[in-house]
Amino acid sequence: MADGRDPISRRDFVKLAGKGALVAGAMPAALAACGEDAPPETVVVTETVIEERIVTETETVIEEKIVEVAGEAPTTTLSPRDAGLAAENGADLLIYAPPGREVPTQWPGYLGRFPQPQFAATAGSFASLGELQLGAIEPDIWNPCFAVFDTAVSEGLVQPWDTSLIPNFADLNPNLTAATSRDGNQYAIPLLYGLAIPIYRADLYTPKENSYSILFDEDLAGKVTWTDSAEWFVVAGKLPENNVANPLDPTEEELDRLVEFMKRKIRIVPAALYSDLATNQTDLATGNIVASYVAPTQWIELTKQGVDIAFITPDEGFIGFSCGYFLMADADQYYHAHEWVNAAVSVEAALTISNKFNFGNSNLKATAVDNPLLVDVMGLGDPAALDGVSLLDKMQNIDRLNDAWIEVKAAAGV
């Protein structure tokens, strides 16, 4: 040849072409195994280069085949994440969550890559806290609402998440992530949030002021419903007349005053402290109940039904709640838990939460929801939407408030 290299014989060419075909066939599999697609490349090809490359790559493929057949471990070093995942048995991942969370659309993309996790159903955030504290169940992930945050962290039940293992964490609402961190540790990954709004039948009642005080209005005695929860001390604590400095953490003296206030006021609640959303919704629709304290999901449902229902934006500022995931202190499936929670707060999962349940979701990118009211009311996608909201996640000494709440209920029954 003109460049002085030895010409390639036809026989050699056929041999090389055969090797080339072998390598070409094996390359995608080898690259796929490394988790990469075949890189596009532009190469100036000469016969020698072709021969050298084909020989080298063929040898590599053969060596890999030998290793695979012989069952020897590959010599490549795994990342801590991959090594962790390999060391765990993903099928043992146990998630303690409200019923329904086991539906894979709420954690898309996980199932194809890892084994099916197990689920156990919680019967409420506080009841599950007690069960966990007693060791009645030992999950890896726990999904309560975060009024239990202070107790769960103080009791050492949970450990911080490693947010570097949760790529979707960067997209979560900073107000929610801040409320669920302590001392720089991210103890919980928020999934959803809601505002606790006072609503009323606009055709049957005209509120005197824009305030949570509508729920304590004695003119509405017998026609108001409350929820069965200690958060009523926060609601009552927000009223200017009760003069509580921090409704999320009242002092002993403030709490005593609130207990007396609540004992007086609970008598206007007609029958039930509702825990049954459907009945409450029906009562509001029929006018049996005129005012209630609900999550926006109920307001949206009633609006859809054509009920003349309005909500108040309280001058005291909204109360809000959020729910999500804790990593248990003795979680066995540490890395699988991170993979699962990453899937559970992805944009697709967040959209499912908003579309199916009408809750606000924590992922700021998940704004393409079916119901535009959610964007308007809940401020989906707006990192500042929860500024000034009293998040129940920040409630302190909830056990004290729960005790006081039970006493209020008992006093109403006496």
Partner 1 sequence: MVSENDTSEKSDTSEKKGRVASLARRRHRVTRSLLALPLGWLLLFFVIPVSLVVAYSVGILETFTKEEGVSLETWRIFLTGENVYMLLFIKSFRMALIVAVVVVILAYPIAYFLAMIADKYKYSLLLLMIAPFMTNFFMRVMAWKVLLGRQGVLNSFLIWSGLRDEGNPIEGLAFGEIPVMIVLGYVWIPFVMLPMFAAMISMDRRLLEAAADLGASRWRAFWKVTFPLSLPGVVASFFFVFIPTIGEFVVPKLVGGTKGYMFGSAIDDLFGMGLDWRTGSVLSLWLVMAVFVLALLFMRLVRFGRLAES
From first CA to last CA, the distance across the chain in angstroms is 108
| Cα–Cα dist 350/119, whole Å | 19
From 104, 124, 160, 207, residue interacting with partner 1 (rule: CB under 8 A): 124
Other Cβ atoms closer than 10 A to 22: 15
From 134, 136, 184, 253, residue interacting with partner 1 (rule: CB under 8 A): 134
| Cα–Cα dist 61/25, whole Å | 10
Q: Which two tokens stand for residue 33?
A: 């195994």
| Cα–Cα dist 215/41, whole Å | 69
From 93, 95, 129, 374, residue interacting with partner 1 (rule: CB under 8 A): 129
Show contacts with partner 1 in window 258-287 (CB under 8 A).
266-267, 269-273, 286
Q: Do 317 and 332 contact (CB within 8 A), yes or no?
A: no
Residue 204 binds partner 1, judged by CB under 8 A: no
Smallest distance, partner 1 to C-beta of residue 279, A:
9
Stretch that binds partner 1, among 11-19, 38-46, 130-138, 198-206 (CB under 8 A): 130-138
Residue-wise DSSP of 198-266 = EEEETTT---SSSSGGGGG-GGGTTSEE-BSSTTHHHHHHHSGGG--S-TTS--HHHHHHHHHHHHHHG
Complex with partner 1: residue 227 or 367, whichever CB lies closer: 227
Show contacts with partner 1 in window 41-100 (CB under 8 A).
none
Complex with partner 1: residue 279 or 355, whichever CB lies closer: 279
Residue 412 binds partner 1, judged by CB under 8 A: yes
Q: Do 272 and 175 contact (CB within 8 A), yes or no?
A: no
Complex with partner 1: residue 152 or 294, whichever CB lies closer: 152
Residue 396 binds partner 1, judged by CB under 8 A: no
Residue 28 binds partner 1, judged by CB under 8 A: no
Q: Do 186 and 355 contact (CB within 8 A), yes or no?
A: no
Stretch that binds partner 1, among 34-42, 105-113, 124-132, 365-373 (CB under 8 A): 124-132
Stretch that binds partner 1, among 35-43, 121-129, 335-343, 348-356 (CB under 8 A): 121-129
Complex with partner 1: residue 83 or 204, whichever CB lies closer: 204
Residue 392 binds partner 1, judged by CB under 8 A: no
Q: Do 269 and 278 contact (CB within 8 A), yes or no?
A: no
Smallest distance, partner 1 to C-beta of residue 139, A:
18
Residue among 129, 142, 223, 145 at smallest CA distance from 179: 145
Complex with partner 1: residue 1 or 134, whichever CB lies closer: 134
Smallest distance, partner 1 to C-beta of residue 402, A:
4
Stated as kind and residue range, the H or E segment containing 60 is helix 47-70
From 46, 56, 154, 210, residue interacting with partner 1 (rule: CB under 8 A): 154
Contact code string over 233-262 relative to partner 1, x by CB under 8 A: ------------------------------
Residue among 187, 274, 166, 186 at smallest CA distance from 225: 274
Stretch that binds partner 1, among 6-14, 231-239, 245-253, 401-409 (CB under 8 A): 401-409
Complex with partner 1: residue 47 or 131, whichever CB lies closer: 131
Q: How far is CA 114 from the centre of its chain?
A: 19
Q: Bridge-partner residues for 189, per DSSP?
A: 325
Q: Bridge-partner residues for 145, per DSSP?
A: 323
Q: How many residues bind partner 1 (CB under 8 A)?
A: 36
Q: How far is CA 39 from the centre of its chain?
A: 36
Q: Do 8 and 16 contact (CB within 8 A), yes or no?
A: yes
Residue 288 binds partner 1, judged by CB under 8 A: yes
Residue 151 binds partner 1, judged by CB under 8 A: yes
Residue 369 binds partner 1, judged by CB under 8 A: no
Site for partner 1, rule CB under 8 A: 124, 126-127, 129-130, 133-134, 151, 154-155, 222, 228-230, 266-267, 269-273, 286, 288, 397, 399, 402-403, 405-407, 409-414
